[in-house]
Amino acid sequence: MIRKQFGIEEMKILDEPSVVAWLNEFAKASTKTQYESRIVRFLQATHTTIADLKRMDVKEIKTLFLNFQRKEVEKGTKNNGVLSIITAIRSYLISIDKTVDFRKGQLVNLEADNSSHIFVNGDLKLMFDVASTFEKALLSTAVSQGWEISSFLEQDRKVVESRLAHAVQNGDKFIFFNNTRQKTGVARFCVLNPLAIQWLSKYLAVRKDNSPLLFDITQDGVQKMLYRLAEQSGLKKTGNLRFHNIRKWLMSRLSRCGFNQFQIKFLMGKSIGLSDSTYLQTLQAEIEEKYPTVYDEHLNISPIIGLADTKKELTNIKSELTETIVSQAKKIEKLDCKMTEINDCLGGLGAAIDDLKLKHPDITIDDLRAIKEPLEKAIDKINERMSLILGYLEKQADFKQEG
């Protein structure tokens, strides 16, 4: 590993055999890099060496820690930064069989992140709209997965390409797969949503380099990308832009659209204390069923404008048509009753005419026609009206089935 940021003195620290052995315990290159920086910074700040740490007893080292903490806090170093360095050095000390414990309250408390910008859907859409193909692929994948940046940037290009090809072959709109979170070793269930699939496919189709990584960019490069997209989109920032807050955004959206705590933990790779793998399979099935139903409204940062409103409008129209058809059906039922009454009346009228002819043999055929013709015209009008009504209702019924 090339350590361009370290000078000769720093390299002496990192090349010390016990430090090398300690760093080799960590599989991830990013973790090694962080811990290298922290042990160098601690030794320089406290004017000590690895030999001093080996020589000192636990009580002396504990005093060294507390003095380091006090001076760093006085300089304005954030509590979380101080604790990250102390944690790294304690890890090294454990590797040389020296455990340093602290009473409650001796170390500073972890601070809540109150200085970061909290993403909302509109923010991410603004940034997405001005992004390049590469940036759209990265941003849509980050939003879909919600992974920590170290694991996100270590994704294998060929593995993702094979998943995309399989999805295309099977006509899958969503890609679901299992993964193990490297930081904790916890199982997680992962999703590539339609937006991520669309832009990953476009990005990989034009990519020309041979890097095995899905996104060949550093963590610092990602942070700079976020700031650039924010500036280009005119986003009004409320704090520092952090990739990790995309993960927080996803957790919030999943909760808002009805996923329970176990489903969210499974998606985010957080421990849920389950030893029964059968239950994990149940969670997986629940997520696969629910996710597509809430995606467009809650999890899509680039929805088709007005799509949700259009769906609601169509639902309302369908409901109104159903009510109209029911109402017209009731009217037809009433008309049927009226027609029955008319037919009964016509039957009675025919009998009355026959009776009339018997009682008044002098009545002429013209007299009867004078009665018959208006009645026939009235009956024709009724039949014509009935045909129009039935035709209208048939069209409404066809429209309802198509909807």
Cα–Cα distance for residue pair 186/396, rounded to 1 Å: 55
Lowest mean pLDDT among 174-178, 227-231, 310-314: 310-314
**What pLDDT is recorded for position 377?**
76
Categorize the per-residue pLDDT at 3 as very low, low, confident or very high, splitting at 50, 70 and 90.
low
**What pLDDT is recorded for position 346?**
66
**What pLDDT is recorded for position 274?**
60
Cα–Cα distance for residue pair 33/219, rounded to 1 Å: 12
Cα–Cα distance for residue pair 254/251, rounded to 1 Å: 5
Backbone angles phi, psi at 173, to 5 degrees: -85, -25
Give per-residue pLDDT as tens, 110-132. Answer: 876 667 888 988 899 999 999 99
Q: Please count the helices (runs of H) and the strands (runs of E) in the chain.
A: 17, 2
Query: Looking at per-residue confidence, does 228 or 368 come out higher?
Result: 228
Cα–Cα distance for residue pair 253/264, rounded to 1 Å: 10
Give per-residue pLDDT as tens, 67-110. Answer: 999 999 999 998 989 999 999 999 999 999 999 999 989 999 98
Length of the chain measured in residues: 403
**What pLDDT is recorded for position 82?**
93
Categorize the per-residue pLDDT at 402 as very low, low, confident or very high, splitting at 50, 70 and 90.
low
Please state the rounded mean pLDDT for residues 266-288. Answer: 82
Please state the rounded mean pLDDT for residues 347-364. Answer: 68
- SS3 letters across 255-296: HHCCCCHHHHHHHHCCCCCCCCHHHHHHHHHHHHHHHHHHHH
Please give the model's pTM, rounded to 2 decimal places: 0.58
Single out the residue of 110, 128, 315 nearest to residue 230, CA to CA: 128
Categorize the per-residue pLDDT at 1 as very low, low, confident or very high, splitting at 50, 70 and 90.
very low
Average pLDDT, the chain: 85
Please state the rounded mean pLDDT for residues 281-302. Answer: 93
Backbone angles phi, psi at 269, to 5 degrees: 75, 35
**What pLDDT is recorded for position 279?**
78
Most confident residue range from 30-34, 326-330, 352-356, 382-386: 30-34
User: Residue 338 pLDDT more than 80?
Assistant: no
Query: Looking at per-residue confidence, does 61 or 314 come out higher?
Result: 61
